[in-house]
Structure 1
Amino acid sequence: MAGARPTVRRRRVAAKLVEFRERAGKSPQEAAERIGCHRTKINKIENARLGISLGELRDLLRFYEVDEPAVVDDMVSLAQRSREPGWVQRAGLARPSFTDFIDYEKSADYIRSYQSNLIAGLLQTPEYARAVLSAPPSTLGHEEVEALVESRIKRQEVWECADPPRMCVIETEAALRLQVGGRQAMRKQLEHLESMAEHPSVEVQVIPDRAGAHAGLSGSFVLFGFPNPTYSDVVCIEHRTGTLYMETQEETAEYTLIFDSLRSIALSPGDSLDLIAQVRQDL
């Protein structure tokens, strides 16, 4: 339905079509004339408010001179699956793709991340990430682990952009004290966390152990906000075999409430930095 909330995959189709059209130097009006529709339809497709037929998609890709078979196949596959529930990548896949999650990191203008056990992925060092990815009973081979570490670190290039997203990270004291990769690796990770907390777009707060029971005990999550007003917030929860996406207003409102509650009991950014430094010195 045209009025339904855009799914994860429809958003990706829309974003890629805009990218291809602009790269080809075509206007929305030219795209509309190509497939024989009104310009408003192109606007709705590019805002993910309306799906696109496979015939129209293939025609636009030819018009935009997108002729790499792998790219075309990926776009067709995304369009075919765009009406499936976008909030779940099903278990059963040997290596679930986190492409949607990475795309959200790139396109979001506000990222709220609560981490109960680990340092947030966008703030991890290579050594820390390697230890996380290879933790037993991991079945990943050395090359697979290294490829994933490289990918995770490459995601951090977002902080080098001219207009990086605003990110608020809430960590638990337990996550700071968990010696992932050993004492030396953890010291280096905490040093990096302190450094990133000084980044103008990053805010880090820590929930101290003494806070007791709180709303985050059910687990970690990331809440993405987007500059496009037609895109609702998205909650992402990573698990062992994939990623759960939640996009309804009720779901995102609930997690916004949880995040705000966690912020209220966390230490201030300044006091959080002091605690991070203290934990690092204790190692």
Structure 2
Amino acid sequence: MPPTSNPTLRQRRLGAELRKLRERAGLTATGAAELLGVNQARISMVETGRTPISADRLRSMARLYDCSDDRLVDALAAMTGRRVRGWWEEYREHLPAALVDLAELEHHAVGVRAALILHIPALLQTTDHARALFQQVAPPIRQYEVEHRLTFRMKRQSILHREKPLSYSATIHEAALRMGFGGSVVVRGQLKHLLDMSELQHVTIKVVPFGADRFPSTGQSFDYVEGPIPQLDTVQLDTHHGGCGFLDAEAQLGKYRSVLDHMETCALSPDESRTFIQTLIRDM
């Protein structure tokens, strides 16, 4: 398979996991290459995601690295082969690569747990609300860029409406619900949309009210994207410049799981959260 100069997040993650397996086996890239009968450059290209590999080759590498975790090997094997040309690929020339990688990450995920402090979750935003946000970006972006980002965001939401929808849980601070983006009509429509989405069996929305006696948060919004196995989970952080940051080290994953767990314990129940949102709408 030909190499690529711009590997996706998914391809880079596969390579990184193979590098971890090699290092745990105590092998250098040169040593692994000799045992596999390839040159060292080939190993490096695979581990940086620039050269795709087949599932059979991956299993051979896993055996060489003495990996006995069958679930991990199976999950990695499912990530092999050529890049999937999903709908998101058409946006690579128009949007930052990290945003496109996020859509691919969500497409392959089995679940997402989101923590929001000042914004409504992107996957739960209405078109009007999202447009209002993009029109207030600083520095301003051109109208055609607004429309690119808007259609992209709406297409991302398809994972909540497909035949086998993503399991989605959002813990949202009251501050995000009270933001006036777009004016009262847009805000009311957004809050009603949250109520509608909360009725879906695979969507859970919990609100952390101002009156909560504790709030163990990093102060930053993030998504915890669940892979087919915990080792392949990913944390996606919103950055101040509007892009995405991705974390996947074991210690980092543990930290953000803990933050989510604590946030959920100090939030209202799903039913209480629905009542809370209905009260906000009634008082507008």
Q: Same fold (TM over 0.5)?
A: yes
Aligned partner letter, 2:235:
V
Residue 171 of structure 1: aligned partner: 172
Matched, 1:239 2:239: yes
Deviations 1:216-252 (A, max 9, x none): 252111101112x385211110113322111111110
Matched, 1:204 2:205: yes
CA separation of 1:170/1:131 partners in 2, compared to 1, >3 Å: closer, same or farther? same
CA separation of 1:136/1:161 partners in 2, compared to 1, >3 Å: closer, same or farther? closer
Matched, 1:276 2:277: yes
CA separation of 1:217/1:256 partners in 2, compared to 1, >3 Å: closer, same or farther? closer
CA separation of 1:126/1:224 partners in 2, compared to 1, >3 Å: closer, same or farther? same
Measure, in 1, the Cα distance between the counterparts of 2:239 and 2:62: 36
Secondary structure at the aligned position of 1:210 is classed as coil
Aligned partner letter, 1:185:
V
Shift of 1:17: 6.0
Shift of 1:122: 0.4
1:242-261 residue pairs with structure 2 within 5 A?
Answer: 242-261=243-262
The CA RMSD over aligned residues, in Å, is 3.6
Q: Work out the number of aligned pairs and report it.
A: 228
CA separation of 1:127/1:138 partners in 2, compared to 1, >3 Å: closer, same or farther? farther
Shift of 1:165: 1.4
Deviations 1:31-78 (A, max 9, x none): x6xxxxx963599999558x99xxxxxxx86xx9x9xxxx9xx9xxxx
CA separation of 1:144/1:205 partners in 2, compared to 1, >3 Å: closer, same or farther? same
Measure, in 2, the Cα distance between the counterparts of 1:11 and 1:102: 22
CA separation of 1:230/1:185 partners in 2, compared to 1, >3 Å: closer, same or farther? closer
Measure, in 2, the Cα distance between the counterparts of 1:97 and 1:209: 33
CA separation of 1:254/1:13 partners in 2, compared to 1, >3 Å: closer, same or farther? same
> Residues 47 and 230 of structure 1 are in contact (CA less than 8 Å); yes or no, is this contact kept in structure 2?
no
Measure, in 1, the Cα distance between the counterparts of 2:62 and 2:131: 43
> Residues 110 and 166 of structure 1 are in contact (CA less than 8 Å); yes or no, is this contact kept in structure 2?
yes
TM-score by length of 1: 0.70
Shift of 1:134: 1.3
Deviations 1:176-227 (A, max 9, x none): 1111110000000001000000111100000000015511252111101112
1:1-283 residue pairs with structure 2 within 5 A?
Answer: 2-4=18-20, 40-41=60-61, 48=76, 95=96, 97-227=98-228, 229=229, 231-241=231-241, 242-283=243-284
Secondary structure at the aligned position of 2:217 is classed as helix
CA separation of 1:5/1:147 partners in 2, compared to 1, >3 Å: closer, same or farther? farther
Measure, in 1, the Cα distance between the counterparts of 2:124 and 2:143: 22
Superposition misfits of 4+ residues, deviation over 6 angstroms: 42-46
Residue ranges of structure 2 left out of the alignment (5+ in a row):
1-15, 23-45, 64-71
Aligned partner letter, 1:264:
T
Tell me whether 262-271 or 156-165 shows the greater mean CA deviation: 156-165
% of aligned pairs identical?
Answer: 24
Residue ranges of structure 1 left out of the alignment (5+ in a row):
22-27, 33-37, 53-59, 75-93
Aligned partner letter, 1:158:
I
> Residues 113 and 222 of structure 1 are in contact (CA less than 8 Å); yes or no, is this contact kept in structure 2?
yes
Deviations 1:85-144 (A, max 9, x none): xxxxxxxxx945312211111111110000000110000000000111111523211111
Measure, in 1, the Cα distance between the counterparts of 2:177 and 2:235: 24
Measure, in 2, the Cα distance between the counterparts of 1:13 and 1:110: 24
> Residues 180 and 186 of structure 1 are in contact (CA less than 8 Å); yes or no, is this contact kept in structure 2?
yes
Measure, in 2, the Cα distance between the counterparts of 1:155 and 1:225: 16
Measure, in 2, the Cα distance between the counterparts of 1:11 and 1:245: 18
> Residues 119 and 176 of structure 1 are in contact (CA less than 8 Å); yes or no, is this contact kept in structure 2?
yes
Measure, in 1, the Cα distance between the counterparts of 2:52 and 2:162: 22
